[in-house]
Amino acid sequence: MKNFDELINELREMLGQKSVAVEPDRLSHFRVDHLTPQAVVFPKNTRQVSDVIRLAHAHNLGVVPWGSGTKMIMGNPPKRLDLVLSTSRMNHIIDVDTANLTITVEAGVKFRDIQARLATQEDRCYLPLEDLATEADEVICSDRSHSGSFLPMDPPEADKATIGGIIATNAAGPRRLLYRLPRDLILGVRMVAPTGDMVGSGGKTVKNVSGYDVSKLAVGSLGSLGVICEITFKLLPLPEKMETLLFSFKSFDAASAFADQIFETSLLPAAVEVLTGGACSRLPMEGIPDFSESPYGVAVALEGFVPAVARMSDELTTMAKSLGTIADTRLEGNRHQAFWLAMSNLGRTFESEHPGLITLKVNTPVSQWAKTMNTLEATLSKADLPYALQAHAGNGVCLARLLLDGEDNDTMEKAVDTVNRLSNLYSEKDGSLVVQTVPSQWKAQLNVWGTPGSAFPVMKRLKEKIDPLGIMNPGRFVGGL
């Protein structure tokens, strides 16, 4: 075994002097839970990733891939950490084929840059281009395909997240109701396996039964089976019309009755998002007064042809009124995009205000969402823990945020206890509870992924076969894989 300095030299020869960082102040930005890497590498393409991983494999180095870092708090603490592999230089849009409705990008491309690239000449875009946050030295992709298509995904932190991170976590948001999950939109993938081999499947066709669907294996794997490098997606034409309806209700029962009634119709909204416990007031968007003061809010996204959106808008407003909505607001034009971007940043807002924030993602069968919200509300109230709740109503996804400052140990312990009880409850049923954010020092007392199901032995076999040394994201994934 060579000493680490020799390996650093090898990496520098491979990638260039500047693409390997070892300075402590830079490394400190790339901590993963309690561990600081020995080096951060910045490969510029798939070939270089392959070289890095081959070296890591030969010397049994623990590697953690890193995009924008928006989801690095997810998962178990790594068992070991030698290299962080940043995808920030892998930021090339490889192929835009809007006539075929596909796009191929490198993993480090930001979601917002994909949408910007797909915007029309007049900057009609799925994201509100002028509202996008950027770091000081960043610019948003200014090249336009003029196609007016979009990548129909709705991930958290839509202005920061990289596409690689979104795929690694199968991250989705409210509009999954209409457009489904990243897993359903991916057509092909190239990744670097833990041996350093470049492998993949799929491509630019919407149908492909040629070999195993490796892209499905990449989606949601948290990078534990290799480094996701290049991804091809299917696109959709930008909706002719986009509009948001906001409704306030006095009680959760009224709000949930409204949401459930929508699913009894043939209307096809893009999202039905229910917010409680003060979540409405924290949306980082100004100018939605009625809604932001609402104790229970329902936000409905409508995206489609003009007459279809008009019909949905009318029918839903009438329905909400008959169910006792106390205020309704309609957001059109760019305000629609701005609202859903703000929604995607709700977690970030809470995180900045509450250093001890614990975020739970609870999944139950789709019809159970309101019951789940009631259980969460009752449990958290009873434990006297401050919270905000949110549900992607038609998909059975509930997000519970415990708004903690993290300073008071007793409160944190009480919170961890409560989370463990909820975790047991939802692991027993046909559901799951994932602790998405929690201060690192409390992870040891939690089972952040919940109890793995009966398919865990298969997952273990796959991990051991593909990554026998366990170098990729060691221990961070489900069941310590």
Partner 1 sequence: MMDAQTLVDRLGEIVGPQNVLSSQMDLMLYSYDASPEKGIPDVVVLPDSTEEVSKIMVLAHTEKIPVLGRGSGTNLTGGTIPVQGGIVVHFSRMNRILDLDIPNRTVTVEPGIITLDLQTEVLKKGFVYQPDPASQKVSTIGGNIAENSGGPHCLKYGVTSNHIQGLELVLDDGTVVETGGKSWDKPGFDITGLFVGCEGTLAMVTKAILKLERAPEAVKTMLAVYETIEDGANTVSAIIAEGIIPATLEMMDNRVMRAVEETIHAGYPLDAAAVLIIELDGMPQGMEECALKIMDICKENNVREVKLAKDEAERATLWAGRKGAFGAVGQVRPSYQCCDGTVPRTKLPEVLNKVIRIGEKYDLPIGNVFHAGDGNLHPLIMFDERDPEEKARVQKAATEILKACADAGGTISGEHGVGLEKLKETSFIFCETDLAFERTLKQAFDPTNIINPGKMIPEAVC
Q: In the window 376-435, what residues touch partner 1 (CB under 8 A)?
A: 395-397, 430-432, 434
Among 27, 101, 327, 383, binds partner 1 (CB under 8 A): 101
Nearer to partner 1 by Cβ, of 101 and 323: the residue is 101
- Minimum separation from the CB atom of position 131 to partner 1 (A): 25
Among 22, 58, 236, 446, binds partner 1 (CB under 8 A): 236
CA-based end-to-end distance of the chain: 25
Q: Does 209 bind partner 1 (CB under 8 A)?
A: yes
Task: Please state, in angstroms and rounded to a whole number, the distance separating the CA atoms of residues 478 and 359.
Answer: 17
Nearer to partner 1 by Cβ, of 321 and 371: the residue is 371
User: Do residues 247 and 325 touch, judged by C-beta distance below 8 A?
Assistant: yes
Site for partner 1 in 321-340 (CB under 8 A): none
Q: Does 124 bind partner 1 (CB under 8 A)?
A: no
- Minimum separation from the CB atom of position 412 to partner 1 (A): 23
Nearer to partner 1 by Cβ, of 23 and 428: the residue is 428
Backbone angles phi, psi at 278, to 5 degrees: 85, 5
E strands, 238-385, in order? 241-249, 271-276, 296-304, 327-332, 358-363
Q: Does 212 bind partner 1 (CB under 8 A)?
A: yes
Nearer to partner 1 by Cβ, of 1 and 455: the residue is 455
Binding residues for partner 1, rule CB under 8 A, total: 85
- Minimum separation from the CB atom of position 330 to partner 1 (A): 18
Nearer to partner 1 by Cβ, of 112 and 234: the residue is 234
- Minimum separation from the CB atom of position 283 to partner 1 (A): 23
Q: Does 469 bind partner 1 (CB under 8 A)?
A: no
Q: Does 208 bind partner 1 (CB under 8 A)?
A: yes
Q: Does 238 bind partner 1 (CB under 8 A)?
A: yes
- Minimum separation from the CB atom of position 86 to partner 1 (A): 24
Task: Please state, in angstroms and rounded to a whole number, the distance separating the CA atoms of residues 124 and 397.
Answer: 30
- Minimum separation from the CB atom of position 209 to partner 1 (A): 5
Three-state SS for 236-270 is EECCCEEEEEEEEECCHHHHHHHHHHHHCCCCCCC
Backbone angles phi, psi at 190, to 5 degrees: -115, 130
Which tokens go with 341?
A: 């971007």
Here's the x/- map for partner 1, 359-378, by CB under 8 A: it reads as --x-xxxxxx----------
Give CA torsion, residues 168, 87, 212, 481, to 10 deg: -50
- Minimum separation from the CB atom of position 197 to partner 1 (A): 4
Site for partner 1 in 8-27 (CB under 8 A): none
25-33: list long-range contacts, CB under 8 Å, 24+ apart: 30/66, 30/69, 30/84, 30/86, 32/64, 32/72, 32/77, 32/78, 32/81, 32/84, 32/476, 33/73, 33/77, 33/78, 33/440, 33/443
Task: Please state, in angstroms and rounded to a whole number, the distance separating the CA atoms of residues 107 and 45.
Answer: 10
Q: Does 118 bind partner 1 (CB under 8 A)?
A: no
- Minimum separation from the CB atom of position 472 to partner 1 (A): 13
| Proportion of the chain in helix, strand, coil states, percent, rounded to 5 | 40, 20, 40
Within a 10 A sphere around the Cβ of 82, how many other Cβ atoms?
20
* Strand 271-276 with 387-392, pairing: antiparallel
Q: Does 3 bind partner 1 (CB under 8 A)?
A: no
Here's the x/- map for partner 1, 163-202, by CB under 8 A: it reads as -------x---------xx-xx--------x---xxxxx-
Site for partner 1 in 21-80 (CB under 8 A): none
